[in-house]
């Protein structure tokens, strides 16, 4: 294998070795049963499976064909389905063909169907693909009828088709007839849980794998059960792992790889979805020859990588911002600077005439790469929704809803968790085409919201603040002037509390009614990322505040700030940006 492809393997191994205490395989503590609880497979099938595994070695991890990567980018998790087995033991049908990809895969078998293992068409754990920002992978099955056996789990190819998941090499399974778990266990398995006594129509069973611990776990009707096995499929870069579902007898169930909302709510987050992992290149094949790659190998790597979502997408509109700042430096000035949304008085904003709100997602409302609201913001977010109304609030993110969001899956998840719409836009903030999409959305509402009635809240200057101020320029409204402190915040700066409240001179707000969009910069960081860029943005705002010449007097924005916070609400530590602002101010 060439140095070109070896580099992918090195990156995968370095990623896995970064943990100070890598997970180790540990035998399950439960006693292994010698015989099955209800059923036993014939001994000749047991022996045939051993011979099969000796004759056919495991496949090394592979890169997906470019057409598979294209399909993942087009329809997201709907690209996953089940391969139709060639074995005559399977008697039934697999319904998975619909326009744009099925939301779920339906499996219906007849009473004469014998033990058979159905594997996913694509791996759910890719040895050569990246896991940065991912917690693991997850899928579910919904039982409509089970007059026989259904088993849910994972397996590596090739796997003997006549054996249920968990019975042979590199396979784990949870059998729903006796509620025993199996991993490479051809005997009677181990007891798993007392939480399930029987399977009824409408029950949902899920299977997940956690990258950090190498643990496989299962869920029942949305409740996560304890880890079944720990430290399996390690090192992860040595194999591809597929979803494996065993069936026998007359059964009817649906397999959901994420096309519909999971019953286990955490599984709906981007950190657990299969399409956010498989397709993000980081590994290599298993050969070790030191030679140049063939044309097929090299083109395969390039085509796969070309279509993958980037970890740090190139934001051309953001890169061009500094050139515009030469002419309009005050584009970088926010109208209001707060630590987080808990300091914003949404009711006062509504009373002042602001009827709509645009919010960033990462590090403003959610932890980066997560879709759920930061728990500390629950009350403030509830107040915001009650004040403006859900349809008058719009999430505009440079991840969810963009071309990086395959099939719009992440935008659906964010909208589900936050309860408000997410804008689907082709251009990244602060592009003018993105602004046009925002205006189009608010103008299409039953009661249209105009640009001057908006607030724009976000944690980045070069995207969120610039976007709001570009909208002001389009509306021919003055840009924010140099910022100053209220008398109250001046007093606070000399005390042990580091809380700063900055207000900006903006003569446009001296009159009655809203004169937005009002840009609100949140400087608190829920998870540290891009800290160098944040420091640069902070320094830029400081410089513009210091050297820009105000066109008029100051407007007091303190009426839009909730000044008194309880200790519990103020428990979040101030970020690096705020500490730097305070240090500059004291010097």
Residue 26 pLDDT class (50, 70, 90 cuts): low
pLDDT at 508 over 90: no
Short-list 73, 94, 75, CA closest to 84? 94
DSSP helix/strand/coil, 272? helix
Q: What is the pLDDT of residues 471-493, one digit of tens each?
A: 888 776 666 654 433 333 333 33
Q: Which string of DSSP letters, residue by residue, matches 43-96? A: HHHHHHHHHHHHHSPPPPP-PPPHHHHHHHHHHGGGG--BPPP--TT--EEEE-
pLDDT > 70 fraction of the chain, expressed in percent and rounded = 72
pLDDT > 90 fraction of the chain, expressed in percent and rounded = 44
Element (H, E) at 8: helix 3-17
Q: Phi then psi for 362, rounded to 5 degrees?
A: -65, 130
DSSP helix/strand/coil, 410? helix
Q: Are 62 and 287 in contact (CB under 8 A)?
A: no
CA dihedral 569, 570, 576, 578 (to 10 degrees): 120
Q: Residue 413 has what DSSP assignment?
A: H
Q: Greater confidence, 473 or 101?
A: 473
What mean pLDDT comes out for the span 199-209?
96
| CA 275 vs CA 254, 292, 309, 390: distances in Å | 19, 30, 10, 29
Residue 578 pLDDT class (50, 70, 90 cuts): low
What mean pLDDT comes out for the span 527-533?
81
Q: What is the pLDDT of residues 373-382, one digit of tens each?
A: 999 999 999 9
| pLDDT score for 503 | 39
The verdict on whether omega for the bond into residue 203 sits within 30 degrees of 0, i.e. cis, is no
| pLDDT score for 75 | 87
Residue 526 pLDDT class (50, 70, 90 cuts): confident
Most confident of 418-422, 508-512, 555-559: 418-422
Q: Are 139 and 258 in contact (CB under 8 A)?
A: yes
Tokens of 21: 């205490």
Average pLDDT of the chain to the nearest whole number: 79
> Which range is least confidently modeled, 12-16, 216-220, 251-255, 435-439?
12-16
What mean pLDDT comes out for the span 216-222?
96
pLDDT at 241 over 70: yes
d(CA 335, CA 521): 8
Q: What is the pLDDT of residues 248-269, one digit of tens each?
A: 999 999 999 999 999 999 999 9
The answer to pTM > 0.85 is no
Q: Greater confidence, 540 or 312?
A: 540
pLDDT at 214 over 50: yes
Helix 576-586 × helix 531-547 angle, to 10°: 30
> Which range is least confidently modeled, 24-28, 218-222, 400-404, 417-421?
24-28
Q: Greater confidence, 72 or 153?
A: 153
Q: How many CB atoms lie within 10 A of CB 345?
A: 18
d(CA 342, CA 563): 10
Element (H, E) at 393: strand 393-395
> Which range is least confidently modeled, 222-231, 319-328, 514-523, 557-566?
557-566
Q: What is the pLDDT of residues 128-141, one digit of tens each?
A: 888 888 899 999 99
pLDDT at 245 over 70: yes
Q: What is the pLDDT of residues 278-334, one digit of tens each?
A: 766 544 433 333 333 443 344 344 444 434 444 445 666 666 767 777 777 888 889
Q: Phi then psi for 154, rounded to 5 degrees?
A: -140, 160
Q: Residue 335 has what DSSP assignment?
A: S
Tokens of 297: 């190998």
| pLDDT score for 548 | 65
What mean pLDDT comes out for the span 60-86?
88
Q: Which domains does the chain have, with CATH numbers?
A: 32-272 (2.60.120.920), 316-475+515-547 (3.40.50.1000)
Q: Are 317 and 357 in contact (CB under 8 A)?
A: no
| pLDDT score for 529 | 78
- Angle of CA points 118, 124, 130, to nearest 5°: 160
What mean pLDDT comes out for the span 188-194?
90
- Angle of CA points 259, 260, 263, to nearest 5°: 130
């Amino acid at each position: 294998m060439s140095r070109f492809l070896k580099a992918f393997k090195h990156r995968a191994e370095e990623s896995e070795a970064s943990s100070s205490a890598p997970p180790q395989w540990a035998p399950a503590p439960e006693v292994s049963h010698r015989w099955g609880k209800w059923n036993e497979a014939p001994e000749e099938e047991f022996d045939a499976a051993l011979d099969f595994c000796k004759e056919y070695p495991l496949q090394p991890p592979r890169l997906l064909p470019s057409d598979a990567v294209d399909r993942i980018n087009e329809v997201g998790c709907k690209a996953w389905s089940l391969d139709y087995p060639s074995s005559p033991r399977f008697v039934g049908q697999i319904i998975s063909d619909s326009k744009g990809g099925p939301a779920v895969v339906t499996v219906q078998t007849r009473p004469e169907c014998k033990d058979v293992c159905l594997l996913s068409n694509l791996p759910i754990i890719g040895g050569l693909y990246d896991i940065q920002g991912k917690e693991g992978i997850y899928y579910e099955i919904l039982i409509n009828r089970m007059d026989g056996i259904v088993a849910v789990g994972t397996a590596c190819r090739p796997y003997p088709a006549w054996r249920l998941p968990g019975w042979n090499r590199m396979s784990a399974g949870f059998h729903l007839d006796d509620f025993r778990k199996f991993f490479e266990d051809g005997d009677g398995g181990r007891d798993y849980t007392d939480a399930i006594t029987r399977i009824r129509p409408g029950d949902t069973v899920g299977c997940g794998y956690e990258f950090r611990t190498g643990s496989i776990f299962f869920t029942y009707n949305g409740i996560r059960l304890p880890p079944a096995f720990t430290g399996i499929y390690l090192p992860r870069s040595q194999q591809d792992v597929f979803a494996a579902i065993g069936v026998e007898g007359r059964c009817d169930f649906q397999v959901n790889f994420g096309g519909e909302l999971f019953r286990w709510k955490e599984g709906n987050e981007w950190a657990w979805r299969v399409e956010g992992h498989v397709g993000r290149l980081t590994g290599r094949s298993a050969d070790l020859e030191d030679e140049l790659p063939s044309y097929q190998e090299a083109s395969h790597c390039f085509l796969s990588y070309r279509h993958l979502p980037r970890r740090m997408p190139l934001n051309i509109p953001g890169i061009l911002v500094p050139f515009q700042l030469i002419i309009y430096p005050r584009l970088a000035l926010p109208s209001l600077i707060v630590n987080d949304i808990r300091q914003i008085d949404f009711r006062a904003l509504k009373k002042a005439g602001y009827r709509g709100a645009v919010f960033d997602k990462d590090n403003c409302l959610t932890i980066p790469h997560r879709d759920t609201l930061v728990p500390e913001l629950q009350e403030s977010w509830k107040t915001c929704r009650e004040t403006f109304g859900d349809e008058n609030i719009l999430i505009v993110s440079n991840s969810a809803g963009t071309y990086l969001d395959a099939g719009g899956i992440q935008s659906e998840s964010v909208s589900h968790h936050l309860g408000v719409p997410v804008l689907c836009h082709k251009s990244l903030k602060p592009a003018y085409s993105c602004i046009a999409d925002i205006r189009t959305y608010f103008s299409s509402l039953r009661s249209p919201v105009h640009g001057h009635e908006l607030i724009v809240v976000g944690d980045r200057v070069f995207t969120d603040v610039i976007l709001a101020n570009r909208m002001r320029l389009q509306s021919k409204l003055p840009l924010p002037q140099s910022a100053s402190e209220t008398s109250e915040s001046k007093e606070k700066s000399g005390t042990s509390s580091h809380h700063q409240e900055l207000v900006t001179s903006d003569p446009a707000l001296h009159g009655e009614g809203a004169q937005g969009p009002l840009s609100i910069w949140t400087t608190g960081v829920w998870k540290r990322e891009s800290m160098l860029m944040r420091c640069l943005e902070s320094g830029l705002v400081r410089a513009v505040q210091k050297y820009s010449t105000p066109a008029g007097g100051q407007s007091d924005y303190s009426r839009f700030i909730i000044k008194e916070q309880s200790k519990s609400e103020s428990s979040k530590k101030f970020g690096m940006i705020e500490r730097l602002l305070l240090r500059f101010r004291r010097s």
